[in-house]
Structure formats: structure tokens, C-alpha cells
Amino acid sequence: MPDKQISVVIADDHHVVRQGIARLLELEDDIAIVAQADNGRLAFELIEKYAPDVALLDLSMPGGGGLETLNKIQSRGLTTRVAILTSFSGELKVNQAIASGALGFMLKDIDGDELVAAVRKVAGGEHYIQAEVAAKLAVGLTKKHKGEALTRREVEILALLGQGLRNQEIADELFISLKTVKVHVSNLLAKLELSDRTQAAIYAVKNGFG
């Protein structure tokens, strides 16, 4: 067992969903579920009590949904990092969550291995936007520029740029060549009308990708 486990509070008003997520995460040696809630009010009380590393919050719950709970966490200056887990992936909700300080945004049908990876990244202070959600955001972003939509690979690279990764690190992360990374970076810069990778990194963070 690792020296330090990632403590997690799960809040979802659907019992089956909540228990399913808990059972999946509890299989990991480095993750511990410290409490569960079926409403926003209880979720915040538990977060205050246990100060978990990560809170997985449903977007819509009785007693205050994920965004309301997230805002309470931010206003109280709590250190718990938040990931939104929801059935809804509308661009507005994603942007609201990221702007409010959420580090993660995933759909409830996320693959188990990906959810575990997301929890670890969020616990480490990194953003994690599920690819399906990021793709929808990308369409919205490119519509603003009236340009060609980003491909899924370009979205992945944009997110990694937002995390501060260099081209070689991106190549290693995605198991592609350095040359391929450079081509994708060039293409996404053109589509988003940005001049360099620094602008792309800033753009990624501001728009919830980094």
C-alpha cells in the first residue's frame, strides 16, 4: 500500500452510480473513499469534516449541485480539489465549472481506467477534461473563430500544451513522433488564429483545457 493515499469524497444523488464509482475506485491501492453524499449540503459538510484530496461532485443534486458546492469550497478557502462527474456536457456548464475552479470534468459513462487516471491527475493539481467533453468544447471554440474544427488529437495536444508540456514530452505522452506533434501544433495554431505555443498554452488554460 502506498505511503499516502488519495482521499476522495463522492457526491451523487443516484445510489447505484455513487456505489459503482466507489467500488471502482476502492480497487486502487492509492485511493481511499472517505465519505459519500447524496446531496450538495451533506457533500459540503463532509468535505469540511474530512478535507479530502479530491471531491467527485455530480452536477445536479438536491441541496445544491456540483457548481454550488464548488463555489462554497472556493469561498471557504478549502484545499480539496474538485472534479465534476455528470451526465451533462454542455459547453456553458463546462466553462462555468472550470471558471469556478474545477480541475476535472467527466461524463458518468467514463471508462473505469480513465476515471482512476483522472482522479490521480486532479489530486496532483492537473486539469483533466474527458476527451468527449473536450471535443465538444473544441467545436464551440472553433465556431467562435469561424474556422475549421480541431481534431480529437489536436484537442489532446492543446490540453497538454496547457499543462506546460514541451513537444518531446507530448510525443512521449501520446506515443507519437516529435515531427507529428509539431505538425499538429502548427495546425491547431492556424485554426485558433494563435501565433505560437505560448499563446496556445494560455488559451488552453483560459478555456478549460490546460
**What DSSP letter does each residue of 7-72 carry, written as one string?**
EEEEE-S-HHHHHHHHHHHHTSTTEEEEEEESSHHHHHHHHHHH--SEEEEESS-TTS-HHHHHHH
Residue type, 62: P
Of 103, 104, 35, 93, which Cα lies nearest the Cα of 67?
93
Other CB atoms within 10 Å distance of the CB of residue 2: 9
* Domain ranges (residues) in the chain: 6-129, 134-206
- Each residue's pLDDT expressed in tens, for the chain with a length of 210 residues: 566 899 999 999 999 999 999 999 999 999 999 999 999 999 999 999 999 999 999 988 999 889 999 999 999 999 999 999 888 655 557 777 877 788 888 888 888 999 999 999 999 988 888 877 766 666 555 555 555 678 888 888 988 888 778 899 999 988 999 999 999 999 999 888 888 887 888 788 777 665
Domain topology for 134-206: Arc Repressor Mutant, subunit A (1.10.10)
The pLDDT of residue 92 is 59
Residue type, 145: H
Computed from CA positions of residues 92, 98, 102, 106, in that sequence, does the dihedral angle turn out positive or negative? positive
Domain topology for 6-129: Rossmann fold (3.40.50)
Fold: same for 6-129 and 134-206: no
